[in-house]
Chain A
Amino acid sequence: MADKLKNWKNIPIGGKITKAGNAAEYNTGSWRTFKPEKNEKKCINCLFCWIYCPDSSIKVEDGKMVGFDYEHCKGCGICASVCPVKCIDMKKEEK
């Protein structure tokens, strides 16, 4: 949360969020314990991982799986579990 926190006079009442489409501002990637990594060679670009990822963290370009959005990937491992050719490995986060 980069911007300074506001005081009670400057926020909408009752916890309302008056702007839509701001979930991306919440960096869910900071919780991650395991990080998905892909073996390029084995991937068949079936995009199962893209369909199943609960955090829209599979990046796709031109119909091809091109990597992960690590800002938001929370490391749940669903992609690795559904991948039919088992080309995603969950690696322990380093630091």
Chain B
Amino acid sequence: MSKVKKTPLTGDQAVAYAMKQIDPDVVAAYPITPQTEIVMSFSNYVANGQVSTEIIPVESEHSAMSACVGSAAAGARTMTATSANGLALMWEIVYIAASTRLPIVMPVVNRALSGPINIHCDHSDTMGARDSGWIQIYCENAQEVYENTILAVRIAEHKKILLPVMVCQDGFITSHGVEGVELFDDKKVKDFVGEYKIDDPLLDVDHPVTYGPLDLQDYYFEHKRQQSEAMKNALSVIPEVSEEFAKVFGTKYDFIEEYKLADAEIAIIAMSSAAGTVKFVVDELRKKGVKAGLLRPRIFRPFPKEKIAAALKNVKAVAVLDRSESFSAEGGPLYTDVKAGLYDSGVKPLAMNYIFGLGGRDLFPADINKVYTDLRDVLKTGKVKTALNYLGSRE
């Protein structure tokens, strides 16, 4: 067995280390729990002269994203990081970054969006931004956060995409838990991300251009049309970039991860760190002969509906776990998207939704066992009793 050297890092430190290796031209950020350690660690690299990044300590997240827009348009590779209410304060500019087609990479440490005020993990922050035009990647652990921060740079900057990317990890669970992370060689990362080159940078004074002009009834729609196309392009381009990543670094990332799903009759769909606990329960159930599986969407925007339909084609009953509530009275965002995505596919497992983990409420193996028990019940009776469920809430 070859020995792999692992470095103990929190999810936040893993992001900061990836940023150090990417060495972006500009980072504009404002600290917010539980993202703070990213900016703090990265500031150390700047202070120690280990990166050539210009760091802009702004007075708010609205300014952070505004500075990022200006800097990315000027022709600089640009990054920031945020959480929850920080993301909410950026809101106006989050949309502008995407519609101006600026490939900013933003690690987001998922945290409940107030109120009531809460600093712990759920996905209400980034799920609210699911229609902002950003690509969204959800990571299970620190290793994945580290690798996907690097991968995101190439996805964002691809000529057929040119959209900003959020790299999401679970607040405290991943961001503050220490794990062994296998780090890549500096030069390999540098070569993989390459040089930042966009067409028509603002600082090319010999070829003056205008960014962000008023765009009314005559052309606004066409610019939005281009944006939809870019997001569709991402569906075909991300596999190409991931392939290249796999060749250099070894890990092959797909839109979804399937865990013991091939012959599964019942399955859970869950994103981010919760998937780790689900895998543990799947293993236990498999020992008892229960055909249980897990599907973990890694990329939520663009939504990989074909991959999900293909992965579920033999599954008879499925439970979608949402770490946020969308208040549509129709279930969480992952649930409604999965259902909508399956509509045309002919794949139609019995489906239930479980909202869980809001405000950092722990998800225990016993909770997941309960979901699989419910699924077995559904399998037996052929009927879903309650479609919308609240897992771990005191009923």
Instruction: Please list the residues of chain A having a beta carbon within 8 angstroms of any beta carbon in chain B.
Output: 1, 5-8, 11-20
Contact = CB atoms under 8 A, between A and B. Distances in A.
A16 B225 CA distance: 15
B226 A8 contact: yes
Given A8-B225, A8-B226, A8-B229, A15 B219 contact: yes
A89 to B, nearest CB: 32
B219 A13 contact: no
Nearest to B98: A14
A15 B230 CA distance: 14
B200 A12 contact: yes
B208 A20 contact: yes
A7 B222 contact: yes
Interface of B: 99-102, 162, 200, 207-213, 215, 218-220, 222-223, 225-226, 229-230
Given A13-B230, A15-B212, A15-B215, 19 more contacts: A1-B218, A8-B225, A8-B226, A11-B219, A11-B222, A11-B223, A11-B226, A13-B101, A13-B162, A13-B223, A13-B226, A14-B99, A14-B211, A14-B223, A15-B99, A15-B219, A15-B220, A18-B200, A18-B209
B218 A5 contact: yes
Contacts of A20: 208-210
> Interface of chain B, helix or strand or loop or mixed?
loop
Contacts of B219: 5, 11, 15
A30 B219 CA distance: 20
A15 B220 CA distance: 8
A11 B210 CA distance: 14
A13 B98 CA distance: 11
A5 B220 CA distance: 12
Contacts of B209: 16-20
A15 to B, nearest CB: 5
Nearest to A6: B222
Contacts of A11: 219, 222-223, 226
Contacts of B102: 14
Contacts of A6: 222
Contacts of A13: 101, 162, 223, 226, 230
A64 to B, nearest CB: 32
A5 B223 CA distance: 13
Contacts of B99: 14-15
A15 B100 contact: yes
Given A20-B208, A20-B209, A14 B222 contact: no
Given A8-B223, A8-B225, A14 B218 contact: no
A1 to B, nearest CB: 7
Nearest to B101: A14
Given A8-B229, A20-B208, A15 B218 contact: no
A7 B222 CA distance: 7
List the 5 closest pairs (A to B, CB-CB), nearest first: A14-B101, A20-B208, A8-B222, A17-B210, A8-B225
B381 to A, nearest CB: 50
Nearest to B230: A13
A45 to B, nearest CB: 34
Nearest to B212: A15
* B207, B209, B215, B218 interface centre (most CB from chain A within 10 Å): B209
Contacts of B229: 8
A1 B100 CA distance: 24
Contacts of A16: 100, 200, 209-211
A17 B213 CA distance: 8
13 contacts: A1-B218, A6-B222, A8-B226, A8-B229, A11-B223, A11-B226, A13-B162, A13-B226, A15-B211, A15-B213, A16-B210, A16-B211, A18-B209
A15 B223 contact: yes
A14 to B, nearest CB: 4
Contacts of A14: 99-102, 162, 211, 223, 226
Contacts of B226: 8, 11, 13-14
Nearest to B229: A8
Nearest to A12: B200
Contacts of A15: 99-100, 211-213, 215, 219-220, 223
B161 to A, nearest CB: 11
